[in-house]
Every structure is written in C-alpha cells, then in structure tokens.
Amino acid sequence: MDTQRNLDLIWEYRTYLRVEKGLRPLTCEAYDSDLKTFAEFLESRLGVLVTSTQQDVAAFLEHLRAHGIDSRSAARKLSCIRGFYKWLLLDRRIHHDPTVNIESPKAWKVLPKSLAESEVNAMLEVAEQAANGPQARATHLRDRAILELLYAGGLRVSEVTSLSTGDLALDLGRVLVRGKGDKERIVPLGVTALAALSVYLREGRPHLSRVRSFANRADGARLFLSLRGMPLTRQTVWQMVKSASGGASPHTLRHSCATHMVEHGADLRSVQVLLGHADISTTQVYTHLALGRLKAVHRLHHPRASGREVVEKRVLLTDEEAS
C-alpha cells in the first residue's frame, strides 16, 4: 500500500514537471528514478514520502555514501528531492520541508575529464579515413559529422540526436540547438564541422533515408539516421564515440570543447552561451582545468620555474659535451 502511494505521488510530480515546468522527457526520467530510489529507502525504514523527516534525508545521503555513490551524484539526488518537497509544500500536501538545513555533499563539483588537443586531432584523423561500400560510407560520413558537432559545438548527445535537417544553416555557419528545458540557442560551427555536415547531407544521409519512408512522420526530417533509416539513438552515439576515441564519452568531447576554448583565451560568458549553461558558475569549472595546464607551461618555460631550470641544465651539459 505504501509503495503504491509513493509511486502515485511520484507519477503526479513527473506529470507536473513535464506539463507545467516543460522539462524534457530525459530530465523527467532522471527525476523519476532518483525519487523512486529515495522512496525505496524510506520503505525500508517503514516510511513514505509525505511523512519523511530531516533524519530520513540525512540517513539517505549517508546510505548513498556508504554504497560508493560519488558526492556529485548524491548532490544531484538531493537537488531532486528538494524540488519534490517544494512542490508538495506549494500544493499544501505537507507543512514542513524535510530538506531544510540539509547540506549538499561537499566537494561534489568534480573536475570534468577532457581530451588533449592531440588526442582529439588523432580521433578525427582516424574518422577521416575512407570506408568501402555505400552503407559503410554513409555511416562513416554520419559518424564523422557527429564527432565534429560534439567537439566543435560542444553539444550534448541528446541535442545531437534530436537535431533536424531544418536546424542547420550551413550557409550562415551555425546550427539551432534545443537544450535542457527546451531552451534554444544558436551554436556557431567551424570550417571542418561545416564541411563534414555538408558531405554527410550530400552523400551520406540520402542513402540512409531511402531505406525507410517517413511519410507523415514528425521524425522524418531527423538529421542523423541509422542504417534502417530510423532516428539515431543516444546509445548508438555513445558506442560510436567510445569506439572512435578509445573509451571517451560524448560528454568528454563537450568538456574538451570548453576546456580548449578557455585555454585559447575565450571568455567564460562566451563559453557559457555556447554550452547552454543556465548559470555561469557551471562554466567556471573550466578555468580550473585550464589553470592546471597553465601551471605546467609555467613550470616548463618560466626562468624561475623548476622545469625551465632542468631544461637549461640539459642544454648546458649538451654544449659541454659537444665542446
């Protein structure tokens, strides 16, 4: 009985998020999953969502820590729970928010992983290699265009798979992207990304779209298609990127895009707009990544840094040996 009561409440909240807040289906699914995890924990303590206490929430966070859940994931789950109880308060179903005074797990802002520029270049060079056969060439051109979009535009994998052909403006060098909360943004693209997309649209996509008719279907204009002519899934893109990069994820390419821009002097506001971050504090993490590489360059090239001294000593020894 308690389980069904919790599930009914979670379903109502998910409907609220989808209909009134306008959140994307994937975001709603993530909230649904987090709340169900919390509800199952409460049921193990003979509790339900509407009667949860501050002690229950604190115990849940400790339960996550004890089971190896990293602090970033725990913080996300707590944020979800906070939103849920705020909704219950506004709907007057509860009179006290059990998440009040609960601190978010410390150090949850883990520095995102990114590839070095040489690693990205190597990956894209491999992607340029020719493929034999019409099907193989079509998928090759598609994958090459996707890799360029993920890195050049810093797109999320869900943003890439939801693109339609009408979102592209190759003559203007940009693409219209729909991000979290269905917020739209214009993303400029570089020469190589535009070239890869042009070749895919001209030689790759026509072959894939002929496989299956999309008459009277909304997804018929989807930009990236599978071998069966169906819209490409996020899972397929994940597997493709992992294979092409030797283990990296699509999000790693997004992080690499932002990191490399900051390293080359881009201001945080521009990077924030490009990535579609709602808060610039989310973008600031990339300054830490760039700072780490800056320190390495400083150690190597500054006359008072240890790295430079080592290099100079090696040069002196070499000169002495030569004489």
Catalytic residue among 14, 18, 137, 251, which? 251
Whole-number Å distance between alpha carbons of 208 and 227: 6
| Catalytic site includes residue 254 | yes
| Catalytic site includes residue 228 | no
The residues near 320 (Cβ < 8 Å, ≥ 6 apart) are none
List phi, psi (to 5°) of 296.
Answer: -65, -40
| Catalytic site includes residue 251 | yes
The separation between CA 34 and the C-alpha centre of its own chain, rounded to angstroms, equals 18
Catalytic residue among 45, 180, 299, 308, which? 180
Catalytic residue among 24, 142, 260, 277, which? 277
Pairing of strands 174-178, 168-169: antiparallel
DSSP annotation string for 282-311: HHTHHHHHHHHHHHHHHHHHSTTSHHHHHH
Catalytic residue among 24, 156, 222, 255, which? 156
| Catalytic site includes residue 156 | yes
Assigned token pair, 1: 């009985």
Assigned token pair, 137: 């060439």
Burial class (CB in 10 A: 0-12, 13-18, 19+), 110: exposed
Q: Which residues are catalytic?
A: 156, 180, 251, 254, 277, 286
